[in-house]
Chains A and B, each alone.
Chain A
Amino acid sequence: MLKEKIKSTVSSLLENKQVDFVIGYGAGSDAGTVRPTFVKAVEEVQELIWSPFAVNNLAKYVMDHLYENIKIGVIVKGCDSRSVVRLVQDKVFPRENFYVIGVPCKGILDKNKVARDFDLSGEFVDFVEQGDNVVVKTTKGDITIPREKYLMDKCYRCETPTPVVYDVLLGEEIAPFRRDNYEDVKNLESLSVEEKSKYWDKQFEKCIRCYACRNVCSACNCRDCVFDMAEPNWVGKAANLSENTAFHLIRAWHVAGRCVDCGECSRVCPMGIPVNTLNRKLIKDMKELFSVETPGKNPEQGAVLGSFRTDDPEEFM
């Protein structure tokens, strides 16, 4: 059972002082919600769970301990593991200070999709896989969810079901079995300029400049963010269409070549803006122009816009 493997792995890491603490998932406010849980003592290990709703990318939390030279254990799925690569490549956190606990994953349930058809309002007790179904046990009863119908959108196009880096893998490797055809990006590319403009105006008008997308992003790892600068005031603090558009487009360009397409930005947005689509457009373009893989998927691949190759089409830059 994955939960037991997690607990025994983490207990052993803590007992042997291989890590200072571990970041995993604990139970949240309802059956469809998990909560990042930080465990530094063996007594706390029993708070750790696994859940078919364990969506949060936990890797970036290491940035709260930048100069402490401590070792941190992090539980990661395939998408999250690309963030580990990101943080290491950007020299934000050394690889040797990570203890990466990899969990192979065929897809995470989308609690918003599930909540439309099932009652998730009870507390999470446990879950079990039953063929094509996930049976979630809650304090308000068991719910049987046909897995493939209720995944996060990003999971249907996941090309790394097995973490790309790990110090220990809690489960059998899963060979990639899905393809990302960038349908969401292509749908927007097919619109006219006027239609695209109207679409993004509508999205950016909703933006409340909470900066959740930036704060959750592991590619947004600058010590001093351009959007926090008052002097010069690159992008004003007023939440209007003009400033909001500038924020989103500038951020997309700042992470271009480094975004690992983990999808957290879209998930955290309180206004339902498909932030990730901007990043995916840039990734798709880069794949076509430079024949690279999704950043973070291959630890050997350097930063797309930050590496010089002798076969670059342009001699300068």
Chain B
Amino acid sequence: MRKGYILKDKLFPWLEAIRAKYPLIAPVQEDGLSLFKEVEKVSDIVLDYGITRMPPKDLFFPQTEKMFRIKNKNNMAVELETPEKITDEQVLFGVHSCDLKSILALDPVFTTRFPDRYYQERRDKTYVIGLSCQKALPTCFCTAYGITPTAYEGADLHLTELGDKYLVEVVTERGERLVAAVPGVVFEGTESLEAEKEKLTAKVAAEIKPVDITGVKEVLDANFELPLWEKWAQKCLGCGICTYVCPTCHCFDINDFNRGDGVGERFRCWDSCMFSDFTRMAGGHNPRPSKKERVRNRFMHKLKYHLDRYNLVGCVGCGRCVQRCPENIDIRAIISDIKGGV
């Protein structure tokens, strides 16, 4: 893997050169919230942002996405108009290691057994530039899943701020294309930077409150019924906050915009397994009739089903759900209860 560096005071000019060529989506501050947004000025970018309120999954899997148009030709036929192009090339900058890993967790869902054109094109046309963490939040626990605060898996290019330089790791072929298209990275003399990166990794990892998931999957493999599910489900409001702020959650619904005037648009939109009607079927049957079944399903998905299906963790320890759950349902406490066989 090629490694280089950018001087710290050359970072924003380099980002500006990127922005001049591609839409640049980066972390900004809006109304006190940190969010990934397309920037018009690189000076809007906030580098030391902790964690964004919403995850970057929206770039590959938008909350609301138009799929195709439906035109009523006559009463016997419709015409479908599928888009020729889903997106232009774009650059996503400043993604922390947990979120980088989450993109890899989403990939097999949308690109393997059921290849999804919309996701795939967005994925192919997005250059992902990762950014190592300089600090851990009290809600961070990426290390529980073998992710480090400076890990580059999931990025095309990965930056780490070290003193007056950014170490740049060119992780993928797509990353090579970007550094060729937008020069600015100096490819030499990175040995000392790599050593400093190790130190930074250890420093930030030490700030993380340890969470031990060993044995959790085994308990879940052996037990579908556990008293802890009812205990936690009681507290749950049944809203969609956890699923929507989660970088790996990917359930969606499909609906139509239809004004009855002969032209409609099919769209898909995020859905949440926590909503009471998520599994309700025509006829009224609901295999997850109470919060207990739905809460159990969500955590089984994060801690077992995603691993079963794709051999990838379903949770990346970003901590957004812990920060935002209105009733403080904490996956780390649930992990602890599972280990205790509660």
Q: A residues within 8 Å of B by Cβ?
A: 28-30, 33-38, 56, 61, 64, 121, 202, 206, 208-212, 214-216, 228, 230, 233, 236-240, 264, 267-268, 270-272
Within 8 Å CB of A64, what residues of B?
A: 234, 291
Separation in Å of the B322 CB from the closest CB of chain A? 6
Does B330 contact A268, Cβ atoms closer than 8 Å? no
Minimum CB–CB distance for B292 against chain A, Å: 10
Measured between C-beta atoms, what is the minimum distance from B69 to chain A in Å?
15
Q: Which A-chain residue is minimally distant from B33 (CB atoms)?
A: A272
The distance from the CB of B298 to the nearest CB of chain A, in whole angstroms, is 14
The 7 closest A-B pairs by CB, nearest first: A212-B239, A268-B326, A121-B138, A210-B240, A28-B328, A35-B328, A215-B237
Q: Which of A37, A121, A230, A239 touches B64 (beta carbons < 8 Å)?
A: A239
Distance in Å from the Cβ of B68 to the closest Cβ of chain A?
A: 15
- Distance A237 CA – B271 CA, assembled complex (angstroms): 9
User: Do the beta carbons of A215 and B239 come within 8 Å of each other?
Assistant: yes
Q: How far is the CA of A102 from the CA of B275 in the complex (A)?
A: 31
Asked if B139 and A29 make an inter-chain contact with CB atoms under 8 angstroms apart, the answer reads yes
Instruction: State in angstroms the CA–CA spacing of A239 and B253 once bound together.
Output: 12
* In contact, A36 and B235 (Cβ under 8 angstroms): yes
Q: Which residues of B contact A233 (CB under 8 A)?
A: 255
Report the Cα distance A268→B244, complex, angstroms: 14
19 contacts between A and B (CB under 8 A): A35-B328, A36-B235, A37-B235, A38-B235, A56-B326, A64-B234, A206-B33, A211-B240, A216-B237, A216-B326, A228-B275, A228-B277, A238-B64, A240-B64, A270-B241, A271-B53, A272-B31, A272-B32, A272-B33
Q: Which of B245, B257, B327, B332 touches A238 (beta carbons < 8 Å)?
A: B257
Nearest opposing residue in chain A for B277, CB measure:
A228
Chain A residues whose C-beta falls within 8 Å of the C-beta of B267 in the assembled complex: 238
Inter-chain pairs besides A38-B234, A212-B239, A239-B64, 18 sampled, C-beta below 8 Å:
A28-B330, A29-B332, A35-B328, A36-B234, A38-B235, A121-B138, A208-B63, A208-B240, A212-B237, A212-B240, A212-B326, A233-B255, A237-B269, A239-B270, A264-B326, A268-B241, A270-B244, A271-B33
Contact between B272 and A210 (Cβ–Cβ < 8 Å)?
yes
Nearest Cβ on chain B to A276's Cβ, whole angstroms: 14
Residues of A within 8 A of B342 (CB): none
Residues of B157-210 whose CB lies within 8 A of A: none
Q: B64 touching A268 by the CB < 8 A rule?
A: no
Closest chain B residue to A228, Cβ basis:
B277
A38 lies within 8 A of B231 (CB): yes
Among B269, B275, B322, B327, which residue has the most Cβ atoms of chain A within 10 A? B327
Q: What's the count of A-B pairs with C-beta under 8 Å?
A: 96
Give the total of B residues in contact with A, Cβ under 8 Å: 40
B307 CB-CB contact with A under 8 Å: no
Q: How far is the CB of A75 from chain B (nearest CB, A)?
A: 14
Bound state CA distance, A240 and B327, in angstroms? 27
Q: Is B33 touching A36 in the complex (CB atoms < 8 A)?
A: no
A28 to chain B, nearest CB (A): 4
Check B70 for interface membership: any CB of A closer than 8 A: no
Chain B residues with CB below 8 A from A209, complex form: 240
CA–CA, A209 to B252, complex, Å? Answer: 13
A64 to B53, CA, bound (A): 30
Cα(A268)–Cα(B64), bound, Å: 23
A277 to chain B: closest CB distance in Å? 14
Give the contacting residue for B269; candidates A214, A239, A270; CB below 8 A: A239
> B326 near A267 (CB under 8 angstroms)?
yes
Q: Specify which chain B residues have a CB less than 8 angstroms from the CB of A35 in the assembled complex.
A: 235, 327-330
User: B333 at interface (Cβ–Cβ under 8 A)?
Assistant: yes
B276–A228 CB distance below 8 A: yes
Report chain A residues within 8 Å CB of B31. 202, 206, 272
Residues of chain B within 8 A (CB-CB) of A61 are 234
- B324 within 8 A of partner (CB): yes
Contact B244 A238 (CB under 8 A): no
Instruction: Return B229 CB to nearest CB of chain A, in Å.
Output: 13
Contact of A212 with B241 at beta-carbon distance under 8 Å, contacts A228-B277, A238-B255 already known: yes
Given A33-B328, A215-B237, CB of A270 within 8 Å of CB of B255: no
Which of chain A's residues has its CB closest to B209's CB? A121
Contacts of B138 in A (CB 8 A): 30, 121
The reply to whether A34 and B277 form a contact with Cβ atoms under 8 Å apart is no
B108 on the A face (CB < 8 A): no
Using CB atoms, name the residue of chain B closest to A240. Answer: B64
B238 at the A interface (CB under 8 A): yes
At the interface, yes or no: B54 with Cβ under 8 Å from chain A?
A: yes
Residues B70-123 near A (CB distance < 8 A)? none
Interface pair B275/A211, CB less than 8 Å apart = yes
A56: which of B238, B269, B324, B327 is its contact (CB, 8 Å)?
A: B327
Chain B residues with CB below 8 A from A29, complex form:
139, 322, 328, 330, 332-333
| B324 touching A270, Cβ below 8 Å | yes
